[in-house]
């Protein structure tokens, strides 16, 4: 009898673990989009300005991290109640947190910067960039009161132009033009009321204060147009803005920065201290003193002395100075007794005519030309040519290096010469002088006429020329008459040409 076939039992399968509930998406991203969209909407609706938005972010950016943390806590608790995993921060969240922290710290530091002082330091004008921190509002004002007899005026305006001129009465009259940067009209009105110019009189001093800084960091620019009696002395303190003073019969003292200063028609002394701007002084019967660091300086028609001391970045122009001229900078030190013509000085050239000595000049890296010089001369230069044309000869001493020296003296002048140069030759129009041009060193010596003046010239690496100067410049010929044929003029004598380097 056969055995039945055993049937294997069915396989046993273990049940699969339940699937975890799906991870819920974080609503931090939509929240960030809502916040950013709201901010941009308020900005386009002009409810918030860029400046206000920057200020809010710099002050309250840690709130963004707090809100982010609150959102993540709420999400975690909701996940626990629902029995599913909460969403993590993720790579994008980490990047966003890092960006918030970095930009927040940068904004906080930038908020502490004195932007007004920095703008003054780098010399940026208000019109160089648009006003991104709001709109500009204009205001006008008018002040007037009696001006005490024999009183002086002091003007303080840290941001704005100042103009002072003579009045027709014994009053001080001030026309005020003000520009205020603000987000809206209400704020501008507030800043305007806080920055009202004020006139105070104490003893013999009247002070006009523009009160520009009373609005704090908010940009306020106030121009002052001032009429005051001509005999009142004027002192001006200006940090940013042009200064113009005219019609004075008392002393003027100006301390200014970041602007151009102009003074004219003054029958007293003028003193200007200037930084980063230009200075122009004309028609002054007293002394003129200009100092500081500036670009251009022009001084003309002064009956007193002129003193210039500081750094002059571009050019100095002087004309018709009746008394002593003193100039001091890091490269040039000079002094004249009088200037009947003009003087032009820049970084490479110094040209002057009708100069009265004694002349003392020490400089370097300049080509020098002095024409119509009278009296004694002591001149020292390096790396430049020297051309000296004497009108009335005195004692002359010239020391130069790396540039030709040309001296022109009156034909009938009497002088003694001692000249020496290395690496150059000596040329002379006076046969009385003994010239020896050796290979290594050239020398010239001797006397001409009475020998009353002594000329000493020392040069290195270039030549020396001793020329005869005409007593007066030739008179230019009259323009030809078209009715008559022009006569042929005799050939003029060839004048010696200055050496060019």
pLDDT score, position 488: 41
Query: Would you place residue 447 in the very low, low, confident or very high pLDDT band (cuts 50, 70, 90)?
Result: very high
Q: Provide the pairing of β-strand 333-336 with 288-302.
A: unpaired
Write out the DSSP string of 451-474. Answer: --EEEEEEEESS-EEEEEEPSSPP
Rounded-to-integer distance, Cα 67 and Cα 32, Å: 10
Give phi and psi for 189, each to the nearest 5.
-60, -40
CA dist 357 and 375 (Å) reads: 5
Distance CA(67)–CA(330), nearest Å, equals 60
Distance between CA 422 and CA 9 in Å, rounded?
125
Supply the pLDDT for residue 480.
44
Question: What is the per-residue pLDDT for 411?
Answer: 87
pLDDT band at 485 (very low <50, low <70, confident <90, very high): very low
482 pLDDT exceeds 70?
no
C-alpha to C-alpha distance for 234 and 167, rounded to whole angstroms: 13
Q: Burial letters for 423-462: b for 16+ Cβ neighbours within 10 Å, e otherwise?
A: ebebbbebeebebeeeeeebebebebeeeebebebbbeeb
What is the pLDDT at residue 472? 41
| Average pLDDT of span 217-244 | 93
Say if CB 106 and CB 153 are below 8 A apart. no
State pLDDT tens for residues 177-209.
999 988 888 989 999 999 999 999 998 999 999
Q: Checking DSSP bridges between strand 198-202 and strand 205-209, what pairing results, if any?
A: antiparallel
**What are the pLDDT digits (tens) for 328-361?**
998 999 999 999 999 999 989 999 999 998 999 9
pLDDT tens, residue by residue, 358-398: 999 999 999 999 999 999 999 999 999 999 999 999 999 99
ω into 35 cis (within 30 of 0): no
Give the residue from 180, 217, 172 showing the smallest Cα distance to 196.
180
Question: Does position 118 have pLDDT exceeding 60, yes or no?
Answer: no
Taking the CB of residue 394, how many other CB atoms lie within 10 A of it? 19
Q: Which residues contact 315 (CB under 8 A, 6 or more apart)?
A: 296, 297, 344, 345, 346
pLDDT at position 269? 97
Q: What is the pLDDT of residue 314?
A: 75
Beta strands 135-146 and 171-182, pairing class: antiparallel
- Least confident span in 54-68, 80-94, 154-168, 316-330: 80-94
pLDDT of residue 478: 45
H-helix or E-strand containing 441? strand 441-448
Instruction: Map residue 12 onto helix, strand or coil.
Output: coil
Q: What confidence score (pLDDT) does residue 181 get?
A: 86
User: What is the band of 34 on the pLDDT scale with cuts at 50, 70, 90?
Assistant: confident
DSSP E strands in 158-278: the ranges are 162-166, 171-182, 198-202, 205-209, 220-228, 234-238, 243-248, 252-257, 261-266, 270-275
Sequence-distant (6+) residues with CB within 8 A of 473 are none
Mean pLDDT of the chain: 82
| pLDDT at residue number 410 | 92
Structural tokens at position 324: 């002593």
pLDDT band at 126 (very low <50, low <70, confident <90, very high): very low
Whole-number Å distance between alpha carbons of 78 and 106: 36
Which segment of 85-89, 311-315, 346-350, 400-404 scores lowest on mean pLDDT?
85-89
Residues whose CB is less than 8 angstroms from the CB of residue 206 and which lie 6 or more positions away in sequence, other chains included? 147, 148, 151, 152, 153, 154, 172, 199, 200, 232
Rg (C-alpha) for the chain, rounded Å, is 40
For residue 55, CA distances in Å to 49, 50, 218, 246 come to 10, 9, 13, 44
What is the value of pTM for the model shown? Answer: 0.71
Instruction: State the pLDDT at residue 499.
Output: 37
Tokens of 452: 């009353």
Band of residue 16 on the pLDDT scale cut at 50, 70, 90: low
Tokens linked to 489: 């003029």
- Phi-psi domain of 83 (left: phi exceeds 0; alpha: psi -120 through 50; beta: other): left
Average pLDDT over residues 400-406: 93
Rounded to whole angstroms, how far apart are CA atoms 379 and 272? 29
Q: Give the mean model confidence (pLDDT) for residues 418-446.
A: 92
Q: What is the pLDDT of residue 19?
A: 52
* 31-40, 47-56, 361-370: which is most confident: 361-370
| Helix/strand/coil percent split, the chain, to 5 | 20, 45, 35
Confidence of residue 170 (pLDDT cuts 50, 70, 90): very high
Give the mean pLDDT of 145-156. 94
Average pLDDT over residues 8-26: 57
Checking if the pLDDT of 120 tops 80, the result is no
The predicted pLDDT at position 94 comes to 75
Structure-token match 């033009």, residue found: 177
CA neighbor of 25 nearest in space, from 63, 78, 96, 69 = 78
Asked if the model's pLDDT at residue 122 lies above 60, the reply is: no
Is residue 404 pLDDT above 50, yes or no? yes
Q: Is the pLDDT of residue 496 over 50?
A: no
pLDDT of 493: 40
Distances (CA, A) of 296 to 118, 141, 446, 479: 23, 33, 45, 38
């Amino acid at each position: 009898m056969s055995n039945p076939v055993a049937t294997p039992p069915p396989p046993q399968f273990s049940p699969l673990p339940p699937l975890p509930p799906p991870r819920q998406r974080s609503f931090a991203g939509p929240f960030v989009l809502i916040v950013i969209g709201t901010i941009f909407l308020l900005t386009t609706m002009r409810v918030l300005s860029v400046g206000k938005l920057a200020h809010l972010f710099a002050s309250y950016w840690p709130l963004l991290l707090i809100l982010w943390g609150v959102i993540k806590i709420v999400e975690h608790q909701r996940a626990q109640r629902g029995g599913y995993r909460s969403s993590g921060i993720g790579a994008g969240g980490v990047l966003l947190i890092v960006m918030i922290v970095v930009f927040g710290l940068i904004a906080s530091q930038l908020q502490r910067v004195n932007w007004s002082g920095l703008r003054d330091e780098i010399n940026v004008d208000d019109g160089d960039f648009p006003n991104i921190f709001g709109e500009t509002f204009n205001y006008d004002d008018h002040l007037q009161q009696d001006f005490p007899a024999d009183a002086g005026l002091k003007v303080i305006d840290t941001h704005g132009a100042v103009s002072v001129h003579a009045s027709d009465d014994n009053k001080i009259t001030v026309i005020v033009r003000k520009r205020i940067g603000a987000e809206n009209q209400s704020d501008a009105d507030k800043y305007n009321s806080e920055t009202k110019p004020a006139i105070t009189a104490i003893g013999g001093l009247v002070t006009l204060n523009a009160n520009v800084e009373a609005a704090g960091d908010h940009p306020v620019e106030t121009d002052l147009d001032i009429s005051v009696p001509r005999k009142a002395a004027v002192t001006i303190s200006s940090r940013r803005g042009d200064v113009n003073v005219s019609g004075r019969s008392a002393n003027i003292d100006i301390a200014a920065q970041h602007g151009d200063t102009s003074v004219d028609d003054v029958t007293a002394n003028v003193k200007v201290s200037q930084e980063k701007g230009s200075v122009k002084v004309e028609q002054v019967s007293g002394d003129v003193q200009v100092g500081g660091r500036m670009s251009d300086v022009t001084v003309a028609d002064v009956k007193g002395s002129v003193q210039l001391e500081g750094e002059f970045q571009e050019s100095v122009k002087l004309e018709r100075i009746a008394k002593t001229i003193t100039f001091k900078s890091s490269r040039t030190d000079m002094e004249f007794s009088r200037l009947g013509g003009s003087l032009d000085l820049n970084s490479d050239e110094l040209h002057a005519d009708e100069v009265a000595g004694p002349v003392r000049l020490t400089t370097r890296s300049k080509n020098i030309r002095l024409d119509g010089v009278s009296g004694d001369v002591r001149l020292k230069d390096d790396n430049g040519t020297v051309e000296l044309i004497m009108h009335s000869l005195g004692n002359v001493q010239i020391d130069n290096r790396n540039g030709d020296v040309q001296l022109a003296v009156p034909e009938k002048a009497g002088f003694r010469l001692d000249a020496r140069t290395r690496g150059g030759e000596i040329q002379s129009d006076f046969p009385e002088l003994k010239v020896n041009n050796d290979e290594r060193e050239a020398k010239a010596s001797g006397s001409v006429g009475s020998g009353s003046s002594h000329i000493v010239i020392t040069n290195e690496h270039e030549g020396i020329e001793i020329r005869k100067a005409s007593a007066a410049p030739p008179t230019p010929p009259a323009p030809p008459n078209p009715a008559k044929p022009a006569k042929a003029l005799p050939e003029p004598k060839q004048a010696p040409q200055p050496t060019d380097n």
